[in-house]
Structure 1
Amino acid sequence: MGVVVALDAFDPEGSTYMRQVFPDVIEQGHPLHATWTDHAVGLFVAKSRVTRDMISKAKKLRIIVRHGTGYDNIDAAACRDNGVMLCYCPGISAMNVAEVVLALTGACAKNLIEVSRQLQAGERLNKKFKSLYSASLLTGKTFGIIGGGTIGQMVAKKFIGAYEGNVVVYDPALPSQAWGSIPHTHASSLEEVLPTADVLSIHVPLLPATRDIIAAPQLKKMKPKAILINTSRGGVVNEPDLWEALKDGILASAGVDAWVREPPTKEDYGHVFEMPNVVTTPHIGGSPAEIQTATCRAMVDRMKEVLIDGIEPKDRVC
C-alpha cells in the first residue's frame, strides 16, 4: 500500500481513527515526516500549503485528501498534471458555518461588539448613542446569498426561519430545481443581488474566478446600511477595499470569519480589530470538536477508499 503521511496535526479523536485504519501513518514528530516527498503514497493535509514543486518531487504520491471545505492551499493543477488524485471533505461543517453566519449577522445588526466595548470602558449608554441608535431590524429584510451549495442553502433556511427574510441567491452553476423547497429568488447576476441585499453572505470556494469577487466596484453598488458576511475564504473579498468601504460609510458593517492571512493576528489586522463596525472571528466555522472529529474521519475514509478498498473516492476534485 505504501506510506501515508499526515502533513498537519488533526483532532485527537479523529487521529485515533486515522491510526486504526493506517497503523503506520507518519505524523508530525516522526523522523521521516520532513522528507515526506520521498516516500508518501497518500497525504493528509489541513492548512499546510502543498506546492507544484512538492507534488512534482513526490514521485510515489497517488492521493491527497484535504481536511475540510476548500482546497486552495493545494495546487490542484499540479495534481492533475502529475496524475495525483485530490479529494476534500465538503459539507460536514455546513451547519456550524450557517450558525456562525447567523451569529455574525446579529452581532453586526445590533452593534453588539461596539456596545460591549463602550460598556466596558465605563460609558453611560442611552438610546441616543450611535451604537444603539444605528442598530438595524433584521425581520423581513432581504438576504443575498452568493453561492448556492450546501452551506448557502442552510444559511438561507436560517435567515428565513430566524428573520422571516426574503432570500435572493446567485450561483451560475446552481440548477434551477436545486432550491425547490426553499423560498427564494434566483438572480441571474451578482449585480442583480448587490443593490437589493440588506445582508450579503458569501459561500464560494477560492478559485481564480472568485478571487476578489467582491471589491470596490461591487461594494459601491450595495446599500449604505447593508451588512457583509464572509465565512468562506479571505481572498473572495478584496480586504483593503472592504476596510475602506467601512471607513467611508459605503456599507454599515461586516462580519469577517475568513481572512487572506490566517490566523488573523494583531500585527496584520490590528487596524481592523479596532474598527467599530467590524465583527471579527478567526475562521471558526469548522472549530467545534465534533465537527473536527467528523471531518477527520471523513478524510481518512476518502484515503481508505483509494488505498485499501480500491474504489472511486467521494468528493474527488481531480
Structure 2
Amino acid sequence: MSGVVALDTFDPEGTQYMRQTFPDVIEPGHSSHSSWPEHAVGLFVAKSKVTADLIRQTKELKFIVRHGAGYDNIDAEACREKGVILCNLPGISALNVAEVALALVGACSKNLVEVSRQMRAGERLNKKFKSLYSATLLTEKTFGIIGGGRIGQLTAKKYIGAFDGKILMYDPYIPTDGTTPWSLIPHERVNSIEELAPRVDVLSLHVPLLPTTKDLITLPIMKSMKPTAILINVARGGVVNEEDLWSALRGGVIASAGVDAWVSEPPIKGVYGDVLELENLVMSPHIGGSPAEIQRATCISMVDHMKGMIDGKPPRDRVT
C-alpha cells in the first residue's frame, strides 16, 4: 500500500490520474478515511482543516501536498515539529486569479453590479442616477500592488496592459537587485503600506495569510486612502479586517471593494447578512482556482508532487 489519502474530492479527470498513479488511494467515503491519522503516509488536501492536534496524532505521515497556493488551513508549524514535509502548488491558478482581479476592478469602477440590479428591477436609468454618475475611469490611474509574487506580477501586467496604469508595489521580501521579473515590469517600489495607501486609486492584495499578514488592511489604512479608491482582495479573507471593510464601505471611506476571498467560506447570507446587500461591494465566492482547466492541472501537479517524494526525489515547492 502507498498509504496515500485524499482528504477532499478533486477534479474528475485529475482524480482519474490520481487513481492511476495510486491505485490504493483512500478517498472520501472509504471505510478507513476518517481514521487517516492512523495510516496515512501521504495526504492530499484542498479545503479540509489539518490541525496541529491531527498532525500530532499521525503515526506514519511524511508528506502533505496542498491543492493550491494557500496553506492556511494546514498547521505548518506542527508539520515542522513533526518532521512532515508540506508542499503547496503555487502559480498554477495565478493567471486566473489575475483575471479575476481585473474583472473585479472593472465591475467596481463602472458600478456594473448595481446598474444590472437596477435594470432588472425595471428602473429607467439616466445620468442622474448615482450608479451611473459615480462610475470612474481606470485609464492611467495608479494601482497599488501588495505582494510581489507571481500573482502580483501578472496582475500588475494586466493593469498596465488594460488601463495603461501606473504601478506602485510593496513587498519587503522581493529583492531589489534586478534579479526578479519585476525588473521587466514598469513600477515604483514603496517602503510601507502607509506610504502606498494614500497614493493609489486601486489597492490590490496578493499575499498569503500568515501571522504577519493577518489584518494587514484595517480601517486606519482605508481612512488614509482616497475616498474614490477601490480595494481588491483576491488573496485571503483574513488579510483584510472584514468588519473594518464593511464599516468603510457603509461610511463612504472608500468608493468600493471587489472581494473574492473571505474569512468565512463559502460566504453565505447566514454569516454575512446584509453585508451582501452593500451597493458598493462586488463579490465572488473565491473563484480564483475555479475553472475546470485550472482544477485539472492543479490535481495532476499535486499527484506528481506526491509521487516524486514517495519515489525518493527532492520535494518541490516545499513549505516545511
Question: Quick one: distance in 2 between partners of 1:312 and 1:192?
Answer: 41
Corresponding residue for residue 46 of structure 1: 46
Moved runs in structure 1, 4+ residues, more than 2 A? none
| Pairing 1:96-175 to 2, within 5 Å after superposition | 96-175=96-175
Q: Any idea what SS the aligned residue of 1:312 has?
A: coil
Corresponding residue for residue 247 of structure 1: 250
Corresponding residue for residue 61 of structure 1: 61
Q: Any idea what SS the aligned residue of 2:232 has?
A: strand
Question: Is residue 258 from structure 1 mapped to residue 258 from structure 2 by the alignment?
Answer: no
Question: Quick one: distance in 1 between partners of 2:316 and 2:100?
Answer: 26
Question: Quick one: distance in 1 between partners of 2:226 and 2:15?
Answer: 46
Corresponding residue for residue 232 of structure 1: 235
1:188 to 188, 191, 194: 191
Question: Is residue 288 from structure 1 mapped to residue 291 from structure 2 by the alignment?
Answer: yes
| Pairing 1:8-47 to 2, within 5 Å after superposition | 8-47=8-47
Question: Quick one: distance in 2 between partners of 1:236 and 1:115?
Answer: 29
Question: Is residue 303 from structure 1 mapped to residue 306 from structure 2 by the alignment?
Answer: yes
Corresponding residue for residue 275 of structure 1: 278
Question: Quick one: distance in 2 between partners of 1:69 and 1:272?
Answer: 28
Question: Quick one: distance in 2 between partners of 1:175 and 1:75?
Answer: 28
**Match of 2:7, as an amino acid?**
L
* CA offsets 1:180-212 (integer angstroms, 9 cap, x no match): 110000111111110011000000000000000
Corresponding residue for residue 226 of structure 2: 223
* CA offsets 1:213-261 (integer angstroms, 9 cap, x no match): 0011111111100000000100000000000001111000000000000
User: Are the equivalent residues in 1 in contact too, given 2:109–2:137 (CA < 8 A)?
Assistant: yes
Q: Any idea what SS the aligned residue of 1:132 has?
A: helix
Instruction: Extract unaligned runs of 5+ from structure 1.
Output: none
Q: Any idea what SS the aligned residue of 1:180 has?
A: helix
Q: Any idea what SS the aligned residue of 1:284 has?
A: coil
Question: Quick one: distance in 2 between partners of 1:261 and 1:291?
Answer: 23
Task: State which drifts further: 150-159 or 116-125.
Answer: 116-125
Question: Quick one: distance in 1 between partners of 2:44 and 2:62?
Answer: 12
Question: Quick one: distance in 2 between partners of 1:307 and 1:282?
Answer: 35
Question: Quick one: distance in 2 between partners of 1:159 and 1:264?
Answer: 27
Offset, 1:311: 1.2
Identity score, percent? 67
User: Are the equivalent residues in 1 in contact too, given 2:233–2:261 (CA < 8 A)?
Assistant: yes
Q: Any idea what SS the aligned residue of 1:195 has?
A: helix
TM-score by length of 2: 0.98
Question: Quick one: distance in 2 between partners of 1:271 and 1:230?
Answer: 19
Question: Quick one: distance in 2 between partners of 1:146 and 1:305?
Answer: 33
Offset, 1:313: 1.3
Q: Any idea what SS the aligned residue of 2:228 has?
A: coil
**Match of 1:201, as an amino acid?**
S
Corresponding residue for residue 314 of structure 1: 316
Question: Quick one: distance in 1 between partners of 2:94 and 2:215?
Answer: 23
Offset, 1:270: 2.8
**Match of 1:311, as an amino acid?**
K
Alpha-carbon RMSD: 0.7
Q: Any idea what SS the aligned residue of 2:279 has?
A: coil
**Match of 2:233, as an amino acid?**
N
Task: Tell me the matched-pair count.
Answer: 317
* CA offsets 1:57-113 (integer angstroms, 9 cap, x no match): 111000111000110000000000001000000110000000000000000000000
Question: Quick one: distance in 1 between partners of 2:9 and 2:275?
Answer: 30
